[in-house]
DNA sequence: GGTTGTCTATTGAACGTTCATTCGGTAGTG
DNA sequence: CACTACCGAATGAACGTTCAATAGACAACC
């Protein structure tokens, strides 16, 4: 893992926050600079352009998510436990980092997303896939296309987190389990 | 239903297409004008600003979706059939109108979305809610928060359509049913 | 039936602003 | 002296929006 210069990190973080507040447009470089406490020119010392700043920001947030989920993982869980844990901790990560959620949502539905390398966006769901593979081998999961299942799971997580953040529904311990159970029932053989 | 002037419609349609191709930013008004075959100034005859153009475009697409789904509905179906039909026809609508899907995705994860009136975005899932209510009354569905369930269903539809359009997975008759079955199993009592 | 006035639809050049990016310069380090 | 990190005013292009001008439709009036 590359060590990120302090100012570079500050730029990434403030971009993240500003994009949550003002959206993709509506965040001029000058504002990023001010919020990060650097000069406008400094940004261009670290990033070629606004586009690459945003592309790198995506990689940066993907790293954060990955890290957070893996931290919670323990050995010797059965598949269902494993699924619940992954689902819930991913969802909680997004809830605790709304700016990441907002950014990713915006990013994936923007013309930027198709531009990132295929393995970049595959890695983003690597841990989900790893899990699906396991479930398949044990004959526990339905025979549904791999990618399809992975994406359906991931989108359920994002959606749940989003609803919670918007305050439309309060998600507590109970609701998390209800939701994880719903998704679990949708992917396992009945 | 308001009758929309021809040029107004052309403006809406070309905005839709351009946003799919170039994203929210990346679609200057001048380009919208050219594609719609009108002068730049004409847009401002129908819309106060770019913002209101986009807000109205959202309402416009919502109307289209609503209409398409209701067309397929018949009387005397049981709940499960009803669900399958709604799920599949909504999904197919998005697949047949990728520009609508792209636009809605971008719109809801942008700072525009929170600005539309609450009943505007509630209406957008009205038919899903109508269905959930029915299922609740019959005791077929799980006891999960209303809004939560509606949004989970809706997001599954959008995600499935998106995956298909991106060509990551080919969805045929069989896959549609598999998917609808998955979601059905996730919302019904087991 | 012709004349006048009003209203709407439309045009596209011009305006003013915003914004990404550049660049010449300063400071610190080795 | 060379090299990197950093600054921030200056630049120039892009873009949303305005506006004076034109044309057509329709009605009122003589």
Residue B189 contacts A, CB cutoff 8 Å? no
Nucleotide C11's nearest residue (CA vs C1') is B39
- Together in a domain, A22 and A63: no
Which chain A residue has its CA at the smallest distance from B103's CA? A109
Same domain, A63 and A32: no
Q: Are residues A65 and A13 in the same domain?
A: no
Q: Is any Cβ of chain B less than 8 angstroms from the Cβ of A148?
A: yes
- Does any domain span residue A178? yes
Residue A26 approaches strand C within 7 Å at CB: yes
Cα separation, A184 vs A141, in Å, equals: 9
Residue closest to C19 C1′ by Cα: A28
The encoded tokens of residue A179 equal: 């939701």
**Probe site for chain B from A186, A187, A188, A189 (most B CB atoms < 10 A):** A186
Token pair belonging to A119: 């393995």
Closest CA to A16 of A30, A38, A36: A36
Q: Do A111 and A180 fall into the same domain?
A: yes
The answer to whether A42 touches A6, Cβ cutoff 8 Å, is no
Q: Same domain, yes or no, for B34 and B121? A: no
Q: Are B83 and B11 in the same domain?
A: no
* Chain A residues lying within 8 Å of B116, measured CB to CB: none
Q: Note the CA–C1' distance, B10 to D24, in angstroms.
A: 21
Contact between A73 and A85 (Cβ < 8 Å): yes
Instruction: Provide, in whole angstroms, the distance separating residue A18's CA from nucleotide C25's C1'.
Output: 30
B159:A151 CB<8 A = yes
Q: Please write the tens of the pLDDT for every residue from A9-43.
A: 999 999 999 999 999 889 999 999 999 999 999 99
Nearest CA in chain A to B18: A111
Q: What angle (nearest 5°) sits at the alpha carbon of residue A65, between those of residues A59 and A70? A: 125
pLDDT tens-digit profile, chain B (190 residues): 455 789 999 999 999 999 999 999 999 999 999 999 999 999 999 999 999 999 999 999 999 998 998 888 888 888 899 899 999 999 999 999 999 999 999 999 999 999 988 888 777 777 788 888 889 999 999 999 988 999 999 999 999 999 999 998 999 999 999 999 999 999 999 9
Question: For residue A52, is it within any domain?
Answer: no
Structural domain span for residue A162: 57-187
Beta-carbon count within 10 A of A52 CB: 11
CATH of the domain at A21: 1.10.10.60
What tens-digit pLDDT sequence spans chain A (190 residues)? 456 789 999 999 999 999 999 998 899 999 999 999 999 999 999 999 999 999 999 999 999 998 998 888 888 888 899 899 999 999 999 999 999 999 999 999 999 999 988 888 777 777 788 888 889 999 999 999 988 999 999 999 999 999 999 998 999 999 999 999 999 999 999 9
Is the C-alpha dihedral spanning A40, A45, A46, A49 positive or negative? positive
Q: CB of A133 within 8 Å of any CB in chain B?
A: no
A122 and A168 part of one domain: yes
Determine the pLDDT at residue A56: 97
Note whether A25 contacts B22, CB cutoff 8 Å.
no
Contact yes or no for A129/A146 (Cβ under 8 A): yes
pLDDT of residue A3: 61
Cβ of residue B106 closer than 8 Å to a chain A Cβ:
yes
Q: Based on the domain organization, do A81 and A105 belong to the same domain? A: yes
A-chain CB neighbours of B111 within 8 Å are 21-23, 26
CATH code of the domain in which B110 resides = 1.10.357.10
Chain B interface disruption, residue of A25, A124, A128, A148, most B CBs within 10 A:
A148
Q: How many CB atoms lie within 10 A of CB B36?
A: 21
Cβ(A99)–Cβ(A19) under 8 Å? yes
Compute CA distances A57 → A9, A114, A177, whole Å: 10, 15, 31
Q: In the prediction, which pLDDT does A1 show?
A: 43
Q: Cβ of residue A52 near strand C, that is under 7 Å?
A: no
β-partners of residue B141 are B188
The integer distance in angstroms from the CA atom of B39 to the C1' atom of C3 is: 32
Token pair 């998917």 is at which residue? B179
- Residue A127, H or E segment: helix A126-137
Q: In angstroms, what separates the C-alpha of B129 from chain A's closest C-alpha?
A: 15
As a whole number of angstroms, the distance between CA B19 and CA B59 comes to 16
Query: Could you tell me if B39 and B71 lie in one domain?
Result: no
Whether residues B24 and B64 fall in one domain: no
In this structure, the answer to whether residues A73 and A155 fall within a common structural domain is yes
Number of domains in chain B: 2
What three-state secondary structure class fits B172?
A: coil
Specify the pLDDT at position B3: 59
Give me the total of CB pairs closer than 8 Å, taking one residue from chain A and one from chain B. Answer: 97
The residue of B20, B50, B94, B110 whose CB has the most chain A CBs within 10 angstroms, and thus the best one to mutate to test that interface, is B110
Please check whether residue B131 is in contact with residue B86, taking contact to mean a CB–CB distance below 8 angstroms.
yes
Provide long-range contacts, Cβ within 8 A and 24+ apart, for B3-12.
Answer: B5/B46, B7/B36, B7/B38, B7/B42, B7/B46, B8/B46, B10/B36, B10/B37, B10/B38, B11/B36, B11/B38, B11/B42, B11/B43, B11/B46, B11/B47, B11/B53, B12/B53, B12/B56, B12/B57, B12/B60
* B105 and B22 within one domain: no
Q: What one-character-per-residue DSSP string does B96-108 give?
A: H-HHHHHHHHHHH
Check residue B162 and give its pLDDT: 96
B145 with A190: Cβ contact below 8 A: no
pLDDT at A59: 95
Closest to B95 (Cα-Cα) out of B66, B65, B122, B121: B65
């Amino acid at each position: 893992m590359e060590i990120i210069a302090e100012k570079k990190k500050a730029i990434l973080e403030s971009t993240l926050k500003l994009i949550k507040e003002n959206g993709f447009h509506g965040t001029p470089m000058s504002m990023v600079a001010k919020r990060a406490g650097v000069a406008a020119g400094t940004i261009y010392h670290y990033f070629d352009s606004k586009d690459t700043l945003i592309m790198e920001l995506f990689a940066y947030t993907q790293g954060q998510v990955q890290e957070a989920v893996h931290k919670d993982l323990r050995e010797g869980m059965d598949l269902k436990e494993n699924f619940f844990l992954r689902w819930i901790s991913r969802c909680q990560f997004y809830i605790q980092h709304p700016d990441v959620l907002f950014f990713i949502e915006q990013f994936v539905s923007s013309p930027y997303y198709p531009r990132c390398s295929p393995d970049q966006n595959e890695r983003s769901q690597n841990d989900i896939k790893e899990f699906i593979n396991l479930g398949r081998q044990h004959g526990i999961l339905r025979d549904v296309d791999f990618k399809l299942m992975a994406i359906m799971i991931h989108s359920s997580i994002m959606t749940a987190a989003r609803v919670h953040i918007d305050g439309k529904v309060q998600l507590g311990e109970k609701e998390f389990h209800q939701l994880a159970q719903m998704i679990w029932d949708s992917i396992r053989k009945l």
